[in-house]
Amino acid sequence: MKVLKFGGTSVGSAERIKSVAELVSDGERKIVVLSAMSGTTNSLEEVTRNLYKKDNEGANKVIDELEKRYLDTVEHLFSSGEYNTKGKGVVSTYMEYLRSFTVDMFTVYEEKAILAQGELLTTALFYYYMQEQRKSSVLLPALDYMRINSKNEPDTRYIENNLKSLLEKYNTEKVLITQGYICRNAFGEIDNLQRGGSDYSASLIGAAIKADEIQIWTDIDGMHNNDPRVVEDTQSISELSFDEAAELAYFGAKILHPTSVLPAKLANIPVRLLNTLEPDASGTLISSKQEKNRITAVAAKDNITAIKIKSGRMLLAHGFLRKVFEIFESYKTPIDMITTSEVGVSVTIDDDTYLDEIVTDLNKYGTVHVDEDQVIICVVGDLVAENKGYAHKILEAVKHVPLRMISYGGSNYNVSLLINAKDKESALKALSDKLF
């Protein structure tokens, strides 16, 4: 059994939804994971921001716009009067629910429930469309099986057990439709797997049911060797290892959510990245196989802050790094890159919520210098030490760019460079020119 996930643009209009219905109706049994229509979760976030500010009028305006878009989708999606009415009914139920928060109390508990409405809406409309087309399908409510624990980690045993009983219940159905992104938390409340998390849903589902393959259907023909939003003429990569994919996803290749590789890797389930707009293109296959002797791809992670701690004392003396790391740990702030010398240590973070507190604490150990607006450029490939000359090639390509940090040897697959945000485009282009 396969798991097929369709992202926001793949279900972004009536036409797109119709193509997805066609794609999934090949008679094979499968789980179909759907995101919200593109832009919806952003709008829902805007609704909650307005509600927090008690700007009910602003919230209603966004809800009105959403309603207009969904009614238009219904109009173009269904051909019969019966399903048109059903579709409109679905839209008005969800919109009334959203509007209820502009009248009644809105608290932090409802925020996640509001954010969940996008995925609930697409799956409800998709299910009705399948019915209208006389294609048999069933809805698997993600809120009945997808759960995170008190540490915000997936509760894998719960997910496995609950999915298993649902699959047994619908053992003859070919198309099982479910929501990406949404889940319950340890208290049973509606929660989510973070923005872009439908990929993670698909991977968790795939691992839980030991799927033959996890397919991530999106608006591009697989993982490209550089960021197609910045560099022209990027190429799709036919095969990637789980480790390479994880590095690229973590360091900015938006096509995959950073957390989505690990469940598939642990369960050794191949992940295929495919293009809804070009369903016959081969896309990218991610598996445990590592291609040898190549630089595979480049990605960039924005909004990075670099922190340098310099000390006249024996900085790297026994226990010093532990003390530094403990400060980041106490503010639950992950470190991405790290470089050290005898007199200083530089680290990068992408979550600067507690930057002031961290700097205050670090000041106890030396002079602290902060650089904001940095970007991590991550070059991924078969970068084992024996592959002589690769690091040289990478550095040669960016010789015109000021380099703030260089990290090599942390894994066998990655070289990371920290540069100023203003040099990102030029660095990515130069790397494409010289490496591919």
| Shortest Å, Cβ 12 to Mg ion | 12
Identify the CA nearest to 24 among candidates 167, 123, 91.
123
| Shortest Å, Cβ 256 to ligand ASP | 11
Q: Which is nearer to Mg ion, 237 or 430 (CB)?
A: 237
Q: At what angle do helices 81-103 and 108-115 cross, to 10 degrees?
A: 160
Give the pair of three-digit tokens for residue 260.
Answer: 């989505």
Q: Does 198 bind ligand ASP (CB under 6 A)?
A: yes
36 binds, among ligand ASP, ligand ADP, Mg ion, none (CB under 5 to 8 A by kind): ligand ASP
Q: Which residue is nearest to ligand ADP (CB)?
A: 7
In this structure, are residues 343 and 366 in contact, taking their beta carbons and an 8 Å threshold?
A: no
Of the candidate residues 254, 294, 429, 434, the single one contacting ligand ADP (CB under 6 A): 254
Restricted to residues 161-200, the positions that interact with Mg ion (CB under 5 A) are 196
Q: What is the DSSP letter of 227?
A: -
Please report, for the chain, how many H helices and E strands are present, in that order.
Answer: 14, 16
Q: Which is nearer to ligand ADP, 9 or 102 (CB)?
A: 9
> For the CA atoms of 121, 127, 129, 130, what is the dihedral angle to 10 degrees?
160
Q: Does 424 bind ligand ADP (CB under 6 A)?
A: no
| Shortest Å, Cβ 320 to ligand ASP | 40
Give CA separation, 368 vs 14, 224, 310, 333, 346, in Å: 54, 38, 6, 17, 10
Going residue by residue from 15 to 54, which x/- string records binding to ligand ADP, judged by CB under 6 A?
Answer: --------------------x-------------------
Identify the three-state secondary structure at position 314: coil
In this structure, are residues 186 and 148 in contact, taking their beta carbons and an 8 Å threshold?
A: yes
Identify the CA nearest to 192 among candidates 90, 91, 119, 106.
119
Of the candidate residues 76, 195, 323, 369, the single one contacting ligand ASP (CB under 6 A): 195
Q: Does 35 bind ligand ASP (CB under 6 A)?
A: yes
Q: Which residue is nearest to Mg ion (CB)?
A: 196
- Residues forming contacts to ligand ADP in the complex (CB under 6 A) are 7-10, 35, 196, 218-220, 223-224, 227-229, 253-255, 299
- Residues forming contacts to ligand ASP in the complex (CB under 6 A) are 7-8, 35-36, 41, 118, 180-181, 195-198
